[in-house]
């Protein structure tokens, strides 16, 4: 199977070691996320009721998740009523099989694709290739990733790690576009010429879906380039794949999300193209419409009371753009088509906390909380991260780390044990302290001192100082006599330089 | 007012002067300060690392220690964030209703130092003197969990002699994240490198914050670079006067 999918090949730490060393990518990513972060803040601040809108979005999604079965059955009935066909896929392999069968039954050698993160989740391109069918990405960034034989590194901007000069080179090599400069207009034109021919000649299209309305059987995608509209209207057969959680009860609900999504994702008031399609219409658009409803672990996420909120996600990528870890390590470090904070909670849950690499993802966070603040549907990502850490750690009761933490909890649950441990550490640290700091720690803690010094345990702990304080009635206005360093307080810095 | 101090395990063992400064400051403002010696650690390190059962021992211990306090004040946004935001989660996930009720009763009385001074006491000028160029790092938990807002800045602006230098990208995490810095040292270091660069760009003599864990991280990076800029806890600046220089 091709690269991509949701199964990481390495732990986050191992993968990040590689991506962090890529200076070009770091620069590209830092520049792109900083720009979009600032733009998003501006776009969001224009709406006086943004917080209420977030609450509304979260509540609507929770309502859908609590009644998911009913709404999915409604959706199925509505789609059928409009002349479409509905397929239920338990997992990635089943979804790949369904789509490949439909494409093959029409004798397709090529299919065009739009909005395809869910198809990346199921590794559709590789599945189709096994059946001799070539998938052509039509989103500009997806096309770049495909031509470069690379992997997407961002939900919304899959080629965010590439800059214009790199893309120009790629188009020259792969599309034979000679004399190209790295002006965005020229690059887009080169892609347009290539894609236009594909739109006009390809019989089968595969799309993702941002939302689907249960009451009318309408599917929706939100995009910026117009390629979606081409894919949805030109081919004879349209196959749309969506995760189970994307269903909304009514058209009314769409209004909330069409306000939340563009501002959160591209920092636009409204995205350039919003397409809706319902079943088939004789004489207009595709003659066949198939909707594939994908589970692939989602119903298990749904069953978990704390983890469930993960399924509110509308894939806007706001959490990626504000995440300091994502900004440095890049999307590839997460090893899944779902990178960043949302990926750190979604990927391991979709894999049932059974994949040892995916299980390192909940630790790929400093818990700074920026993702929770940015999320338009208020997914408490830090909370879910901690919850998953707990569940994953439970499985390893006898690791060296677990024993260390258990010991520490035992020590710290009694003040005299804690104080004894401080004294012991103070004595034991002797050989490690040089010029007032620790420059190298042994064992598990060694990662810290690879780049940072550590102050030593103080000569006198706070509680020791507290005990030595004179009684209140003995104290003057300037309090006690000695500081924790055991030196009289004098107006000078620790290094002796007078202040 | 009688204030119970929560000095936090890190401050107790490694940064006792922050605790001393907190005592001085609160007493100077006319409050009675108590230190219950039964206190140890809030359990954040355990909880955040996935050792929730072990963390629960420390949650229970904290609740027992401070149950009768009128208010608890700590010079750490991170540890107060643990108490206010995550103690209820810890109790809920353990299915311990009794503990949850106790936590819900206690947590709203636990404050971070700067928010206590500004929001609770309504004090913005603590009479401090600190004649240095200082930059202020907004720590994540104080900013996003406790929402202390500009409380620390209000206090710093009223410190005589202090020149406040604005820190670029102030909302960005320093990359400490407790065990994150040990489990993902390379990513943590990349975040720290940017933070250190921001601090140095201000040409400040000292970088301050309301949390010694973040300062330990930033200070560890500055120290390794021999950068000549140091870190100092907000409490130590606020405790400093012309008569007694604390930090």
Cross-chain residue pair A454–B38, CB shorter than 8 Å? no
Smallest CA–CA distance from A436 into chain B, residue: B223
* Alpha carbon A354 to chain centroid, angstroms: 19
Cross-chain residue pair B16–A425, CB shorter than 8 Å? no
Per DSSP, B144 falls in state I
Smallest CA–CA distance from B60 into chain A, residue: A413
Which of A451, A467, A469, A495 is best to mutate for the B interface (most B CBs within 10 A)?
A451
Structural domain that includes position A224: 19-302
> Is the confidence at residue B209, as pLDDT, over 80?
yes
- Mapped onto helix, strand or coil, the DSSP state of residue B160 is strand
Instruction: Based on the fold, state whether residues A410 and A297 are members of the same structural domain.
Output: no
Q: Min CA distance, B21 vs chain A (Å)?
A: 10
Neighbours of A485 (CB within 10 A): 14
> Is the confidence at residue B198, as pLDDT, over 80?
yes
Q: Min CA distance, A225 vs chain B (Å)?
A: 32
Cross-chain residue pair A409–B16, CB shorter than 8 Å? no
ipTM associated with this complex = 0.96
The dihedral through the CA atoms of B79, B81, B84, B86 has a sign that is: negative
Chain A residues touching residue B49 (CB < 8 angstroms): 389, 393, 401, 405
Q: Min CA distance, B50 vs chain A (Å)?
A: 4
Of the candidates B9, B35, B180, the beta carbon closest to that of A366 is on B180
Cross-chain residue pair B184–A389, CB shorter than 8 Å? no
Cross-chain residue pair A453–B16, CB shorter than 8 Å? no
pLDDT tens per residue across span B70-115: 999 999 999 999 999 999 999 999 999 999 999 999 999 999 999 9
Contact B49, B88 (CB under 8 A): no
Q: Is residue A220 part of a domain?
A: yes
Over chain B, what is the mean pLDDT? Answer: 97
Domain count, chain A: 2
Q: Min CA distance, B120 vs chain A (Å)?
A: 25
Q: Which tokens sit at A399?
A: 């690791």
Q: Min CA distance, A46 vs chain B (Å)?
A: 21
- Among A181, A34, A185, smallest CA distance to B198 is for A34
Cross-chain residue pair A366–B175, CB shorter than 8 Å? yes
Name the residue with tokens 């595969």: A206
Q: Is residue A493 part of a domain?
A: no
Say what the pLDDT of residue A155 is. Answer: 83
H or E element in which residue A371 lies: helix A370-374
Q: Min CA distance, B14 vs chain A (Å)?
A: 5
The ranges assigned to domains in chain B are 2-120, 133-245
What span, in angstroms and rounded, lies between the C-alpha atoms of B246 and A255? 57
Name the residue with tokens 């779902």: A338
Interface contacts (A, B; CB < 8 Å): 223
Cross-chain residue pair B184–A409, CB shorter than 8 Å? no
Q: Which residues of chain A have pLDDT under 50?
A: 1-3, 478-481, 486-499
Q: Give how far Cα B234 sits from Cα of B26, B104, B192, Å.
A: 13, 28, 20
If you classify domain B133-245 with CATH, what class do you get? alpha beta
CATH of the domain at A160: 3.40.50.10420
> Is residue A387 within 8 angstroms of chain B, CB to CB?
yes
> Is residue B12 within 8 angstroms of chain A, CB to CB?
yes
- Among A336, A327, A320, A340, smallest CA distance to A26 is for A327
Q: What are phi and psi of B71, to 5 degrees?
A: -140, 150
Average pLDDT over residues B176-196: 96
Which of B185, B215, B221, B230 is best to mutate for the A interface (most A CBs within 10 A)?
B185
What span, in angstroms and rounded, lies between the C-alpha atoms of B218 and B91? 33
> Is residue B158 within 8 angstroms of chain A, CB to CB?
no
Contact A140, A195 (CB under 8 A): no
Say what the pLDDT of residue A4 is. Answer: 56
Choosing from A270, A302, A334, the residue where a domain stops is A302
Cross-chain residue pair A13–B184, CB shorter than 8 Å? yes
Smallest CA–CA distance from A389 into chain B, residue: B50
Q: Min CA distance, B211 vs chain A (Å)?
A: 14
Of the candidates A363, A437, A461, the beta carbon closest to that of B13 is on A461
Q: Which tokens sit at A133?
A: 């069918």
Smallest CA–CA distance from B59 into chain A, residue: A413
> Is the confidence at residue B231, as pLDDT, over 80?
yes
Q: Is residue A234 part of a domain?
A: yes
């Amino acid at each position: 199977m091709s690269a991509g999918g949701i199964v990481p090949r390495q732990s986050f730490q191992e993968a990040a070691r590689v991506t962090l060393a890529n200076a070009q990518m770091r620069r590209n990513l830092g520049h792109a996320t900083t720009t979009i972060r600032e733009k998003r803040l501006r776009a969001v601040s224009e709406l006086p009721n943004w917080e209420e809108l977030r609450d509304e979005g979260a509540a609507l999604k929770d309502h859908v998740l609590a009644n998911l079965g009913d709404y999915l059955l409604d959706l199925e009935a509505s789609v059928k009523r409009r002349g479409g066909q509905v397929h239920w896929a338990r997992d990635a392999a089943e979804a790949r099989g369904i789509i490949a069968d439909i494409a093959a039954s029409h004798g397709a050698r090529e299919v065009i694709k739009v909005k395809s993160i869910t198809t990346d989740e199921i590794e559709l391109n590789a599945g189709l290739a096994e059946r001799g069918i070539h998938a052509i990405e039509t989103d500009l960034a997806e096309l770049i990733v495909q031509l470069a034989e690379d992997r997407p590194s961002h939900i919304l901007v899959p080629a965010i790690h590439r800059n214009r000069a790199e893309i120009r080179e790629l188009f020259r090599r792969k599309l034979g576009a000679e004399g190209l400069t790295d002006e965005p207009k020229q690059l887009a034109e080169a892609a347009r010429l290539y894609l236009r021919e594909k739109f006009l000649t390809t019989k089968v299209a595969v799309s993702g879906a941002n939302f689907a309305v249960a009451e009318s059987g309408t599917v929706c995608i939100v995009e910026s380039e117009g390629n979606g509209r081409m894919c949805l209207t030109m081919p004879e057969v349209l196959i749309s794949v969506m995760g189970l959680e994307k269903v909304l009860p009514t058209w009314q609900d769409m209004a909330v999300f069409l306000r939340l999504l563009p501002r959160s994702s591209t920092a636009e008031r409204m995205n350039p193209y919003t397409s809706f399609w319902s079943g088939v219409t004789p004489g207009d658009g595709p003659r066949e419409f198939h909707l594939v409803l994908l589970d692939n672990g989602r119903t298990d996420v749904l069953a978990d009371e704390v983890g469930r909120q993960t399924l509110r996600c509308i894939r806007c990528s706001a959490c990626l753009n504000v995440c300091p870890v994502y900004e440095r390590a890049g999307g590839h470090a997460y090893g899944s088509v779902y990178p960043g904070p949302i990926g750190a909670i979604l990927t391991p849950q979709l894999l049932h906390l059974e994949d040892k690499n995916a299980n390192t993802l909940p630790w790929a966070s400093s818990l700074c909380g920026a993702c929770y603040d940015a999320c338009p549907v208020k997914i408490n990502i830090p909370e879910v991260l901690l919850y998953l850490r707990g569940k994953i750690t439970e499985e390893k009761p006898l690791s060296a780390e677990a024993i260390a933490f258990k010991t520490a909890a035992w020590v710290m649950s009694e003040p005299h044990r804690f104080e004894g441990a401080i004294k012991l550490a103070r004595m034991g640290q002797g050989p490690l302290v040089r010029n007032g700091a620790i420059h190298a720690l042994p064992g598990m803690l060694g990662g810290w001192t690879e780049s940072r010094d550590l102050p030593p345990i103080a000569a006198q702990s706070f509680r020791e100082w507290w005990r030595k304080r004179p009684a209140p009635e003995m104290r003057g206005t300037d309090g006690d006599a000695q500081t924790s360093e055991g030196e009289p307080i004098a107006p000078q810095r620790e290094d002796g330089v007078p202040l | 007012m009688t204030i119970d101090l929560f000095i936090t395990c890190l401050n107790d063992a490694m940064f006792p002067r922050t605790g001393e400064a907190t005592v001085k400051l609160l007493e100077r403002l006319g409050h009675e300060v108590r230190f219950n010696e039964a206190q140890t650690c809030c359990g954040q390190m355990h909880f955040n690392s996935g050792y929730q059962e072990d963390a629960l021992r420390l949650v229970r211990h904290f609740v027992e220690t401070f149950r009768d306090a009128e208010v608890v004040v700590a010079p750490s946004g991170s540890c107060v964030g643990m108490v206010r935001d995550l103690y209820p989660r810890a109790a809920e996930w353990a299915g311990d209703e009794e503990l949850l009720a106790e936590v819900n009763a206690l947590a709203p009385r636990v404050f971070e130092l700067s928010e206590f001074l500004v929001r609770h006491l309504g004090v913005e000028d603590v009479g401090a003197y600190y004649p240095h160029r200082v930059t202020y790092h907004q720590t994540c938990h104080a900013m996003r969990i406790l929402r202390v807002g500009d409380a620390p800045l209000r206090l710093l602006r009223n410190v005589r002699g202090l020149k406040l230098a604005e820190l670029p990208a102030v909302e960005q995490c320093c990359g400490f994240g407790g065990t994150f810095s040990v489990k993902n040292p390379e990513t943590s270091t990349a975040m720290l490198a940017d933070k250190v660069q921001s601090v140095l760009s201000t040409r400040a003599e000292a970088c301050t914050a309301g949390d010694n864990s973040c300062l330990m991280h930033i200070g560890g990076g500055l120290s390794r670079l021999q950068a000549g800029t140091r870190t100092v806890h907000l409490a130590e600046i606020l405790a400093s006067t012309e008569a007694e220089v604390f930090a």
